[in-house]
């Protein structure tokens, strides 16, 4: 049996299960962990739980110890040194005329390794740059080219909703997002309105997509003619979240009516793909 707990790595906000290593951990406590690439820093985000050895697919990494005040000070020192390393890397990249945009620098907890994240439209030969940095910083150097989504996650910011970016707050991985998701939700296809800070389609387009897709068959299609209390009208829009449809009556007047309430009261003239209502009505 193993006692495990979830730990959020401070460097990239990933949440991973770790073996508590018989250390008494609590939610909110900072700890030092083995990251496979060395010693790192994280925060416990779940209470310990017991699992059986047969339920483990991959070897568990271990929590080394709870973070001390000295460890916290070292983290703050690392942050200051990262800024200096960023400035140095930008200077050396400019000297070598490399077409790269430096996004972030990240020291390992023990400062034996530093990772530089950069974006570029082309492949970059940074071998000489690595030699320059290793000679000055006296640490193992790694340069990683990232995409625009990862760049936005690293830099942070606020979305059109006014809240911090989802990729910064809680998203662990990026899921595919398509223009079809926007169409299914009757959203404007204006790129300025459905694109995030990264320039790609907003991740939140996928949050309600399954709901809209599921509800699609429960609402009349656009152009369907129905009878209402106010007379015959044509369906021009539907709103699954509000459970309403917008009908254009004779004379061009548009009216929004509750679809769920009206389903028992209005007759469908042209809606062959919705037989469930008529059958239920007969029962």
Domain boundary residue among 43, 67, 91?
A: 67
Mean pLDDT of 158-169: 89
Could you tell me if 77 and 137 lie in one domain? yes
pLDDT in tens, 196-207: 999 999 999 999
The percent of residues above 70 in pLDDT, for the chain, comes to 89
Domain boundary residue among 173, 188, 211?
A: 211
Q: Over 90: is that where the pLDDT of 99 sits? A: yes
Could you tell me if 114 and 87 lie in one domain? yes
The two beta strands, 225-228 and 231-239, are antiparallel
What's the pLDDT band for 276 if we cut at 50, 70, 90?
Answer: very low
Could you tell me if 77 and 133 lie in one domain? yes
Could you tell me if 57 and 10 lie in one domain? yes
262 vs 67, 227, 244, CA distance in Å? 61, 10, 9
Could you tell me if 229 and 196 lie in one domain? no
Cα–chain-centroid distance for residue 14? 11
Could you tell me if 36 and 88 lie in one domain? no
What is the total count of domains within the chain? Answer: 4
DSSP 252-280: S-EEEEEHHHHTTTS-BSS-TT-HHHHHH
User: Within a domain: residue 43?
Assistant: yes
Give CA–CA dist 23/3, Å, rounded. 9
Could you tell me if 102 and 167 lie in one domain? no
Domain boundary residue among 41, 67, 93?
A: 67
User: Within a domain: residue 182?
Assistant: yes
User: Within a domain: residue 156?
Assistant: no
Could you tell me if 6 and 60 lie in one domain? yes
Give CA–CA dist 258/126, Å, rounded. 61
- The CATH number assigned to the domain holding 107 equals 3.30.300
The percent of residues above 90 in pLDDT, for the chain, comes to 47
Mean pLDDT of the chain: 84
Mean pLDDT of 219-241: 82
Could you tell me if 34 and 59 lie in one domain? yes
What's the pLDDT band for 11 if we cut at 50, 70, 90?
Answer: low
User: Within a domain: residue 275?
Assistant: no
**Residues near 105 by Cβ (< 8 Å), separated by ≥ 6?**
82, 83, 85, 86, 89, 114, 115, 116, 117
Residue 148 half-sphere exposure, CB side, CA atoms within 13 Å?
Answer: 9
- Look at residue 245 and give its three-state secondary structure: strand
Please report, to the nearest 10 degrees, the dihedral formed by the alpha carbons of residues 218, 224, 229, 230 taken in order.
140
Could you tell me if 88 and 24 lie in one domain? no
Could you tell me if 239 and 263 lie in one domain? yes
What's the pLDDT band for 137 if we cut at 50, 70, 90?
Answer: very high
pLDDT in tens, 262-272: 444 444 444 33
Looking at residue 220, the DSSP 8-state letter turns out to be: P
Which of 129-133, 144-148, 217-221 has the least mean pLDDT?
217-221
pTM: 0.71
Buried b (16+ CB within 10 A) or exposed e, 138-152: ebebebebbeebbbb
Nearest 5 degrees, angle CA 198-CA 203-CA 208? Answer: 155
Note the pLDDT of residue 283. 39
**Token pair of 198 as six digits:** 């990264």
Q: Over 80: is that where the pLDDT of 243 sits? A: yes
- The CATH number assigned to the domain holding 260 equals 2.30.30
User: Within a domain: residue 151?
Assistant: no
Q: Over 70: is that where the pLDDT of 273 sits? A: no
User: Within a domain: residue 8?
Assistant: yes
What is the sign of the dihedral through the CA atoms of 272, 275, 281 and 283?
positive
User: Within a domain: residue 46?
Assistant: yes
Domain encompassing residue 120:
72-146
User: Within a domain: residue 171?
Assistant: yes
Could you tell me if 84 and 133 lie in one domain? yes
């Amino acid at each position: 049996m193993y006692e495990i707990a979830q730990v959020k790595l401070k460097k990239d906000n990933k949440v991973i299960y770790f073996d508590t290593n018989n250390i008494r951990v609590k939610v909110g406590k900072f700890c030092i962990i083995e990251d496979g690439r060395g010693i790192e820093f994280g925060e416990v985000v779940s209470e310990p739980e017991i699992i059986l050895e047969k339920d483990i697919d991959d070897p568990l990494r271990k929590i080394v110890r709870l973070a001390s005040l000295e460890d916290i000070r070292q983290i703050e020192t690392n942050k200051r040194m990262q800024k200096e390393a960023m400035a140095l890397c930008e200077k050396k990249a400019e000297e070598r005329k490399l077409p790269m945009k430096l996004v972030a620098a990240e020291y390992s907890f023990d400062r034996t390794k530093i990772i530089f994240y950069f974006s570029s439209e082309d492949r970059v030969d940074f071998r000489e740059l690595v030699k320059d940095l290793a000679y000055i910083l006296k640490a193992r150097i790694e340069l990683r080219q990232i995409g625009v989504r990862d760049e936005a996650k690293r830099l942070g910011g606020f979305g059109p909703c006014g809240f911090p970016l989802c990729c910064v707050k809680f998203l662990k991985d990026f899921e595919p997002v398509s223009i079809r998701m926007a169409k299914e939700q009757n959203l404007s296809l204006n790129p300025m309105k459905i694109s995030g800070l990264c320039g790609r389609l907003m991740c939140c387009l996928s949050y309600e997509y399954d709901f809209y897709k599921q509800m699609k068959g429960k609402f009349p299609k656009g152009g369907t003619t129905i009878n209402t209390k106010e007379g015959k009208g044509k369906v021009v829009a539907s709103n699954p979240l509000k459970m309403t449809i917008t009908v254009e009556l004779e004379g061009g007047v548009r009216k929004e009516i509750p679809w769920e309430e009206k389903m028992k009261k209005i007759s469908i003239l042209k809606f062959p793909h919705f037989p469930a209502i008529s059958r239920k009505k007969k029962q």
